[in-house]
Structures are given as structure tokens and as C-alpha cells.
């Protein structure tokens, strides 16, 4: 039976050295609880770093044994690994880049090497435990190279990857010198998940533009499989926060704190010390509020919890000093003997106290400058049992995509944040209740357990889809079957598309001239079979390229046909009525003028707008615009607009490759048919083929064809084998 392995940089525990032995406490974090539903089952395990540098072999052995009982496997890191891989590349390169703090990015090749080395260390640890068919779920930005390393060692494993922090726009991604390796690393997974749609579209764009893998509807077309990319907004353990808020312990803490603080309004803010959290900006806004509204003095105060983190790093040290200074300035300016505006804590609190803070606060001010999701805002909402309280939430947090009933603010807009706090302080109880109820309903439904379930279901779904493609792949068995059938046939017929099928694509379509290898294959094939080149290309180009070959040619999707027996004479399918061309050409020209790199190709029966050379992204955008424009025009002229491989073509609907192929076959004896093509225009050919024909689509797209094949290179190999 296959098992599931969870992998993250940190194991869900903390280790403490006591009297020469390590003691550990399990983490109570939401992720640990959510994933607990997986790794605590059956043979499943969690692999990760225990969080301490342990050099002694004896101590390591003790930890391994201890953790084994709790279904965890440690990966030990040296002090150097921690400095260069964790503090270095993860936290000084990836973290600032992915949170849009480009000024803090450190470009250090030694850190990069360490990152690579530690990802390999993780890979080795996993390979010691994993079976070929296991499911492996890798978490977060410290392990971006791991999915590819695992894929190479375990090609059939089911690999999921989830990134907890934002994925930045292509503009940021391309700044990182090691961007290609990073993206390729992530593409080793079968499913790549992010919190939000924006993260996933940034990732897809970077993958397309940096490593050249195209995608459609969130599916990346990799060399030999489809990778699914999707958004999975992470939830919290809702029940736990609700229960804790109800508990006697929390209720009594609330009573006690309230007695000390009186009935003033409380604003809670909780963050790890980090520049992405916007803590100084928040303090500035609070200061402005107090300056503008003296009537609030003594009536409102802020409870600011900052959890210590990375404070040995210079930028964090400076941030800490800035916060200390600001809090000092506000308190020294406004405090009275009975009122302190900011209650500032630079430390963490036990869970029941945290719950009390959430429960008793009137407002949660969650204003990160950038945050993957942010769970604090969700925990605040879940703790509001009396439905009194207002959430002010930054638009830059992933959670803002879900919690639309919060007061949403731009954290850089100080005026907006001041107004939002004032709005929250004066909000009617009924409105508070309506907003909270609606958010609670969705948080309760999409909790962390649901998140885990949805991710895993999706992962297995992707795997099943891949298996479908795999079963259609032209493997050795299929090749032998085609070969045998071909050899025993008296009248074999081959329908071969040209671009993308017999040759690769070039920036300029006229440069895709058949090379020596292809010429040799076609020449040999045409001695043993009836070969038909069936293409959308114009007849002059095809006629020129295959002038001396004994093959039939179908050009422009079937407008023209040239039988090998008829020398250089082309037959026309139907009179071409091209009175529509001028109007359509004018429209296309307008889009050429606006789109550097685009060009128009004119064929007898159609006009084609090419955008292969256009800047990626812009080409798609213009194509879609032109598509809807042309679709509207097409109705009036009874034409059909079709999207191809980096082209948009407008033509008569009754002309297609399928009809042309059928027409040609009428007078032809055949006891073996092989049809190969790479795009939607070839689907008409596949559909028209009689039962028993072998039909193959190049690339792993959904198709009417019986089989898929990787690329034109494999097509050439297959064809060469037929006449070996
Ligand atoms: C990453 C992403 C994404 C905080 N102070 C105390 C305390 N906490 C707990 C909170 C909350 C957690 O820490 C912080 O969660 P965040 O979501 O804000 O941030 P990270 O976990 O650092 O970060 C983030 C997340 O992954 C999940 O995908 O949301 O965007 O950066 O659960 O309750 N807990 C206790 N005492 C404290 O003083 N007990």
C-alpha cells in the first residue's frame, strides 16, 4: 500500500535541550493540526528539520528514535546549512523577493549552493523512506527545488507542492539569477498550489516566460505530463478557536484583563517581527488618529504583540528599533496616569491568552504590506462569539480575497487606515454582527481540514488525468503494433500534418523548411506507402518544398489538392469567394499596427494573423481582442474564426482537413491508415478517419485521436521505424 509523506522545512515540534537530552513539544499551529489528519494515519510520516543544530551522533540517534514514535523523521542541518540555506537563501533572497521587498534581496552564490545542497539533503532523507508509488506533499519556499529532485528519482510518485507565501510577478521573479532552476524545481510536482489566484497566475506567467512551458486553464504542458496549478486558500482550525473562546480559562482571563483596562475600546495587532507586516505604518496611522481625535484619548488603546523573529538579521534589528521608537514616541506624547495608548509586547503568548486577546478586542488591525494568506485575521473572526468586533484587513493579504466583509484597506494609504479605524470604532453593533456572521460562516466551512482534503483530492484527480494521457501515449507496444500493421498492409495511407508534426515551429513560418532528415524519411516512406501531407499552409510553399516528392499535398486545410499523379497541377475544392477579405484585412492590419511582431498571412481562402514573434502576454491579449472583434464580423460573412498555435485564422467553415481527407480517400484503396497532427485543425482529420485507423496527436492535449505523442522528434522516429 502506498503511503503519504509530508515534507516541510520545519517539523511540527520544538526541541529544547535539558540536562544533555532533548525534550520536545508538539506544535499547536493550524498547519500541524490540519496535516495531522494525514501524517498520523497508517504508515504516513512527516519529514523535516527539527529546528535545532544537533551535531552529536548520540543525540541525533536519540532524537530519531523519539520522533519515530510520533511518525516524524528528522533531517539534520549543520550550523553552516542554517546560516546559508535557511537564514541566507530562504530568508534573505526568496522571502524579500516573494514579498516584493526587492531592496532587501541578497544575491549570494554561496547561499544558492547551500540551498541546492540542503534540498538534496531533504531528497536523500525522503528517498530512504519513500516507495516508488508514494504520495509526497512538499511545503513552502525553502524547498522549491525538491519536487524536481524527487521526480527524477521517483518518476511515478504523486508529488504535490504548496507555497504558503506569495508568488511574485514575473518582473520580480526574473531578477533572481537562479530563477530557471527554481521554476523547474517546482514543476517537478503534479500539482502546484498557492493561496490565491493572483499567486497562481504570476507563477504560470513566469513559467511561460522564463522556462517556456505554455499553459492552458491552469494546466502546464510539460515535456511528458500535465502539471496542474491551482489556488487553495488555507483555512484555520475553526472549531479550536471557537472552543477556546468559550472555555472557562479564556473567559476568566477576559474578565481579569477587562477589569484592568476598563471599558475602553481595544485594537489588537499580532505579527511576527517582519518588514512585510507593515507594523511601523500601522503605528503612524494610530498616531494620526489620536492627533485628529482628541475625544478618543483615554477611550481607545492598541494591544500590539510582536513575536520575536530573525532579530539577528540587520534589517530586522533596524525594524525592531524603529517599532520601539515609534511606540515610545506615541506613549510619551499621549499617555496619562490612567491610560496607555499602546500596550506593546515583544514576545509570544500561550494559546489561552491569545484567545482572550482576540475575544476581548473590539477591532483587529491586520495591515501587512504583503502576506501570503494571514491566519491572525481568521482567528480573530472565529473567536468573536458575541458577534461584536470589526476586522480591518489589508488588501495585500491573501485573506482579503475571501473576507470581503472586513473593512479592506491599502496599508500604504495612511489616510485610508485612519478612516478605517474611525469607521470601525463607530460601527453600529448590528452591522458588526452581520459582517462577522457572514465571515464566520465561510471560515467554518472552509477550515484547515477542508483545505487539506481539497488539496489531496485535487492531487489524485490530476494523477488520474495524467494516467489517462499515459494510457494513450505512443509507447514501445503501440509502436510495434503500428509497425506490424504497416508491414502487413498492401495499401498503407499516411496523413501527415506539417508544422508541429513533422517539424518544430520557427519564429518566421517561412523558415520551417524541411531538413535533410525529414526529406530522407518522407522519401523512404513514399516508396512504401501513399503519403499525404495535409497542412494549413499555402499551396505555393508546400508545392515548392515537396516538388520532387512522390506525395499527395492538401494545402490550406483542403482548398487545394495536388495528387502525386498529376504533376504540378493543383485542384481547387471550390470557387473562392473572397469579397470579405478587404474588410477583415483592414481590421487585422489595425491589430498589426498596435502589436509589434504580429503579421498577416494571406491564403486563397483565408486570412491568418500570426503572433508568435509578439512579446508574450501582449500577443495573447491582442489575439483575444481580435478574436471577439472577428467573431462579430464573421457572422455577417458566414465565416469561421479559429484559434491555432500562435495564430488566429478566419476562413469558410465548410473547408477543413477532415473533409479534404475524406475526399481524397474516396478513390483510394487502403488497408492501413495513420493520421498524425498537432492542433485543432487536425482534429477534423482524426474525426473523419475510418474505424481501425491509427490517429495520433502531438503534445499532451485532449484529443479525438487514439494516441498522444511527445513531440515532432518522436513522430520522426516512429515514421523512420516504419521503413527501417
Ligand atoms: C506563512 C505565511 C500564511 C502569533 N503570535 C502568537 C501566536 N501566533 C500564531 C497565530 C497564527 C500564526 O502564529 C501566524 O500565522 P500567519 O498566517 O500570520 O503567518 P505565518 O504562519 O508565519 O506564515 C502566511 C501562513 O504561512 C499559512 O499558510 O498565512 O501568509 O507567511 O496562527 O495564531 N500563537 C500563540 N502565541 C502568540 O503569541 N500561541
pLDDT digit string (tens) for 420-469? 999 999 999 999 999 999 999 999 999 999 999 999 999 999 999 998 88
- Rounded distance, CA 277 to CA 279, Å? 6
Nearest residue (by CA) to ligand 1, atom 38, is: 348
Q: Where are the domains of the chain?
A: 4-231, 238-445, 473-574+655-722, 581-651
Higher pLDDT, 651 or 119: 119
Name the percent of the chain in helix, strand, coil, to the closest 5.
50, 20, 30
* 139: nearest Cα among 29, 25, 31: 31
pLDDT at 576: 66
Give the chain's mean pLDDT.
94
CA distances from 421 to 17, 124, 272, 398, 653 (A): 44, 51, 22, 21, 61
* Substitution site in 250, 351, 376, 383 for ligand 1 pocket (most atoms within 8 Å of beta carbon): 376
All 3 cell numbers of residue 600?
498577416
Question: Which residue is listed with cell 470557387?
Answer: 575
Q: In this predicted structure, what is the pLDDT of residue 526? A: 96
> Which numbered atom of ligand 1 lies nearest the CA of 164?
28
Ligand 1 centroid distance, CA of 234 (Å): 12
| DSSP code string of 307-356 | E--STTSHHHHHHHHHHHHHHHHHHHHH-BTTB-SEEEE-S---HHHHHH
Q: How buried is residue 294: exposed, middle or buried, by Cβ count under 10 Å (0-12/13-18/19+)?
A: exposed
**What separation in Å is there between the alpha carbon of 403 and the centre of ligand 1?**
17
Ligand 1 atom with least separation from CA of 28: 39
Query: Strands of 492-496's sheet, edge to edge?
Result: 571-572, 560-562, 552-555, 530-534, 492-496, 672-677, 694-698, 707-709
Contact 417, 285 (CB under 8 A): yes
**DSSP H or E run through 18:** strand 13-18
| DSSP at 615 | P
What is the reported pLDDT for 505? Answer: 81
Point out the ligand 1 atom lying closest to the alpha carbon of residue 398: 30
Gap between the Cα atoms of 54 and 660, Å rounded = 72
pLDDT of residue 111: 98
Q: Is 30 in the pocket of ligand 1 (CB under 6 A)?
A: yes
Sign of the Cα pseudo-torsion (350, 356, 361, 365, in order): positive
3 state SS of 211: coil
Cβ–ligand 1 contact at 354 (below 6 Å): yes
Higher pLDDT, 445 or 221: 445
What is the DSSP annotation of 193-245? EESSHHHHHHHHHHHHHHS---EETTEEE-SSSEEEEEE------HHHHHHHH
CATH superfamily of 581-651: Trehalose-6-phosphate phosphatase related protein; domain 2 (3.30.70.1020)
Burial class (CB in 10 A: 0-12, 13-18, 19+), 312: exposed
Rounded to whole angstroms, how far apart are CA atoms 616 and 528? 43
Q: Which atom of ligand 1 is nearest to the CA of 195?
A: 28
pLDDT at 370 over 70: yes
Atom of ligand 1 nearest to the CA of 307: 5
Higher pLDDT, residue 643 or 364: 364
Q: What separation in angstroms does the CA of 434 have from each of 265, 361, 389, 441, 646? A: 20, 18, 11, 11, 49
What backbone phi and psi angles, to 5 degrees, belong to 123? Answer: -60, -45
β-sheet with 342-345: strand ranges across: 342-345, 300-307, 265-272, 363-366, 390-394, 407-409
Q: How far is 195 from 202, CA to CA, in rounded Å?
A: 12
- Residue 499 DSSP class: B
Asked which of 110-114, 346-350, 537-541, 650-654 is least confident by mean pLDDT, the reply is 650-654
- Does the C-beta of 346 come closer than 6 Å to ligand 1? no
- Residues, the chain: 724
- Pocket of ligand 1 contains residue 679 by CB under 6 Å: no
Q: Which three cell numbers stand for residue 526?
A: 513514399
Rounded CA-CA distance 334/326 in Å is 12
Per-residue model confidence as pLDDT tens digits over 244-256 = 999 999 999 999 9
Average pLDDT over every residue of 342-361: 97
Pairing of the two strands 571-572 and 560-562: antiparallel
Name which of 312, 311, 304 is nearest 328 in CA terms. 304
Residue 497 is a catalytic residue: yes
- pLDDT top residue among 511 and 205: 205
Exposed, middle or buried by CB within 10 Å (0-12, 13-18, 19+), for 132? exposed
pLDDT value for 699: 86
Q: What is the pLDDT of residues 246-298, one digit of tens each?
A: 999 999 999 999 999 999 999 999 999 999 999 999 999 999 999 999 999 99
Distance in angstroms (rounded) separating the CA atoms of residues 374 and 366: 9
Residue 696 confidence class, pLDDT cut points 50, 70, 90? very high
- Which H/E stretch holds residue 555? strand 552-555
Verify whether ligand 1 is closer than 6 Å to residue 208 (CB atom).
no
Nearest Cα to 319, choosing from 377, 327, 288? 327
Q: For residue 15, what is its C-alpha cell?
A: 526541541
Least reliable range by pLDDT among 217-221, 359-363, 381-385? 217-221
Q: Are 132 and 343 in contact (CB under 8 A)?
A: no
Segment 645-656 shows an average pLDDT of 88
Architecture of domain 238-445: 3-Layer(aba) Sandwich (3.40)
Helices marked H in 335-447: 351-360, 376-383, 414-425, 429-445
Helical ranges in 489-596 per DSSP H:
516-528, 539-545, 581-593
More confident residue, 478 or 564: 478
What is residue 28's DSSP assignment? -
The grid coordinates listed for 115 are 540551498
Nearest-angstrom CA–CA distance, 32 and 359: 23
Q: What's the average model confidence in pLDDT over 511-534?
A: 94
Phi-psi region of 298 (alpha: psi -120 to 50; beta: other; left: phi over 0): left
**Three-state DSSP class for 231?**
strand
What SS3 state is found at 111?
helix
CATH 1.10.357.10 fits 473-574+655-722, yes or no: no
Q: Region 668-673: what's the mean pLDDT?
A: 93
Check 497, 552, 682, 684 and give the catalytic one. Answer: 497
pLDDT at 485: 96
Average pLDDT over residues 617-635: 90
What pLDDT, on a 0 to 100 scale, did the predictor assign at position 702? 79
Classify 414 as helix, strand or coil. Answer: helix
Is the confidence at residue 535, as pLDDT, over 90? yes
Helix (H) or strand (E) holding 531, with range, is strand 530-534
Cα–Cα distances in angstroms (integers) from residue 186 to residues 89, 146, 147, 488, in the given order: 16, 7, 6, 46
Nearest to 198 by CA among 359, 371, 39, 403: 371
DSSP state of 490: S
What is the fold, at CATH topology level, of the domain defined by 4-231? Rossmann fold (3.40.50)
Query: What is the distance, to the nearest Å, from the Cα of residue 387 to the centroid of all Cα atoms in its chain?
Result: 36
- Cell output for 58: 548520540
For ligand 1, is residue 459 a contact (CB within 6 Å)?
no
Q: Which residue has the cell 502576454?
A: 617
Beta carbons within 10 angstroms of residue 279's beta carbon: 25
Give the residue among 672, 668, 640, 440 at the shortest CA–CA distance from 554. Answer: 668
Confidence of residue 51 (pLDDT cuts 50, 70, 90): very high
How close is the Cα of 367 to the center of ligand 1, in Å? 14
Kindly state if the Cβ of 192 falls inside 6 Å of ligand 1: no
Q: Which three cell numbers stand for residue 215?
A: 499553459
Do 4-231 and 238-445 share a fold?
yes
End-to-end CA distance of the chain: 44
- The DSSP code for 295 is G
* 23 burial via Cβ count (<10 Å: 0-12, 13-18, 19+): exposed
Amino acid at each position: 500500500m502506498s503511503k503519504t509523506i509530508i515534507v516541510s522545512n520545519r517539523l511540527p515540534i520544538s526541541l529544547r535541550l535539558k540536562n544533555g537530552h532533548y525534550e520536545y513539544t508538539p506544535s499547536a499551529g493550524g498547519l500541524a493540526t490540519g496535516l495531522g489528519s494525514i501524517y498520523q494515519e497508517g504508515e504516513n510520516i512527516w519529514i523535516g528539520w527539527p529546528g535545532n543544530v544537533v551535531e552529536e551522533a548520540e543525540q541525533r540517534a536519540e532524537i530519531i528514535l523519539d520522533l519515530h514514535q510520533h511518525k516524524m523523521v528528522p533531517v539534520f542541518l549543520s550550523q553552516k546549512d542554517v546560516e546559508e540555506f535557511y537564514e541566507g537563501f530562504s530568508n534573505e533572497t526568496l522571502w524579500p523577493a516573494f514579498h516584493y521587498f526587492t531592496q532587501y534581496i541578497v544575491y549570494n552564490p554561496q547561499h544558492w549552493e547551500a540551498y541546492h545542497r540542503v534540498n538534496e539533503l531533504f531528497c536523500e532523507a525522503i528517498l530512504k523512506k519513500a516507495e516508488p508509488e508514494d504520495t509526497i506533499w512538499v511545503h513552502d519556499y525553502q524547498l522549491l527545488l525538491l519536487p524536481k529532485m524527487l521526480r527524477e528519482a521517483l518518476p511515478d510518485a504523486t508529488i504535490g507542492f504548496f507555497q504558503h507565501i506569495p508568488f511574485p510577478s514575473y518582473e520580480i521573479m526574473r531578477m533572481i539569477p537562479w530563477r530557471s532552476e527554481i521554476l523547474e524545481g517546482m514543476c517537478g510536482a503534479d500539482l502546484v498550489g498557492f493561496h490565491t489566484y493572483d499567486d497562481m497566475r504570476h507563477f504560470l506567467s513566469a513559467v511561460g516566460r522564463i522556462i517556456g512551458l505554455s499553459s492552458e486553464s491552469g494546466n502546464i504542458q510539460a515535456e511528458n505530463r500535465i502539471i496542474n496549478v491551482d489556488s487553495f486558500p488555507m483555512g484555520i482550525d475553526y472549531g479550536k478557536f471557537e472552543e477556546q473562546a468559550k472555555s472557562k480559562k479564556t473567559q476568566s482571563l477576559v474578565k481579569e484583563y477587562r477589569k484592568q483596562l476598563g471599558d475602553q475600546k481595544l485594537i489588537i495587532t499580532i505579527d511576527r517581527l517582519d518588514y512585510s507586516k507593515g507594523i511601523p505604518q500601522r503605528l503612524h496611522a494610530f498616531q494620526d488618529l489620536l492627533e485628529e481625535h482628541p475625544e478618543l484619548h483615554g477611550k481607545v488603546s492598541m494591544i500590539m504583540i510582536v513575536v520575536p523573529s530573525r532579530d539577528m538579521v540587520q534589517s530586522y534589528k533596524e525594524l525592531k528599533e524603529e517599532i520601539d521608537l515609534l511606540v515610545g514616541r506615541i506613549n510619551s506624547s499621549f499617555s496619562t496616569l490612567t491610560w496607555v495608548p499602546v500596550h506593546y509586547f515583544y514576545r509570544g503568548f500561550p494559546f489561552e491568552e491569545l484567545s482572550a486577546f482576540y475575544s476581548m478586542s473590539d477591532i483587529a488591525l491586520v495591515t501587512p504590506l504583503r502576506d501570503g494568506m494571514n491566519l491572525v485575521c481568521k482567528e480573530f473572526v472565529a473567536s468573536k462569539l458575541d458577534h461584536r468586533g470589526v476586522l480591518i484587513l489589508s488588501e495585500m493579504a491573501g485573506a482579503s480575497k475571501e473576507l470581503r466583509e472586513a473593512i479592506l484597506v491599502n496599508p500604504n494609504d495612511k489616510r485610508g487606515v485612519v478612516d478605517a479605524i474611525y469607521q470601525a470604532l463607530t460601527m453600529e453593533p448590528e452591522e458588526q454582527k452581520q459582517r462577522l456572521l457572514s465571515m464566520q460562516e465561510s471560515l467554518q466551512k472552509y477550515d484547515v481540514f477542508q483545505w487539506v482534503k481539497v488539496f489531496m483530492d485535487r492531487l489524485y484527480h490530476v494523477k488520474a488525468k495524467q494516467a489517462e494521457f499515459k494510457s494513450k501515449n505512443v509507447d514501445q507496444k503501440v509502436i510495434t503494433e503500428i509497425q506490424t500493421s504497416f508491414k502487413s498492409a498492401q495499401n498503407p495511407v499516411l496523413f501527415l500534418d506539417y508544422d508541429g508534426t513533422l517539424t518544430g515551429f520557427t519564429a518566421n513560418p517561412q523558415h520551417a523548411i524541411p531538413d535533410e532528415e525529414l526529406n530522407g524519411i518522407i522519401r523512404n516512406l513514399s516508396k512504401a506507402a501513399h503519403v499525404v501531407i495535409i497542412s494549413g499552409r499555402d499551396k505555393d510553399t508546400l508545392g515548392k518544398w515537396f516538388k520532387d516528392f512522390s506525395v499527395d499535398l492538401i494545402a490550406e486545410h483542403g482548398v487545394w489538392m495536388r495528387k502525386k499523379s498529376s504533376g504540378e497541377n493543383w485542384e481547387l475544392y471550390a470557387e473562392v469567394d473572397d469579397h470579405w477579405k478587404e474588410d477583415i484585412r483592414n481590421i487585422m492590419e489595425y491589430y498589426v499596427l498596435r502589436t509589434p511582431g504580429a503579421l498577416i498571412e494571406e491564403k486563397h481562402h483565408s486570412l491568418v494573423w500570426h503572433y508568435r514573434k509578439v512579446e508574450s502576454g501582449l500577443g495573447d491579449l491582442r489575439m483575444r481582442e481580435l478574436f471577439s472583434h472577428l467573431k462579430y464580423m464573421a457572422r455577417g460573412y458566414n465565416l469561421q474564426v479559429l484559434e491555432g498555435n500562435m495564430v488566429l485564422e478566419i476562413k469558410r467553415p465548410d473547408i477543413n482537413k477532415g473533409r479534404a481527407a475524406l475526399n481524397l480517400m474516396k478513390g483510394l484503396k487502403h488497408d492501413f491508415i495513420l493520421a498524425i497532427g498537432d492542433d485543432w485543425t487536425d482534429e477534423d482529420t482524426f474525426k473523419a478517419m475510418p474505424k481501425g485507423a491509427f490517429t495520433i496527436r502531438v503534445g499532451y492535449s485532449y484529443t479525438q485521436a487514439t494516441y498522444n505523442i511527445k513531440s515532432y522528434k518522436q513522430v520522426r522516429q516512429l515514421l523512420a521505424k516504419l521503413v527501417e
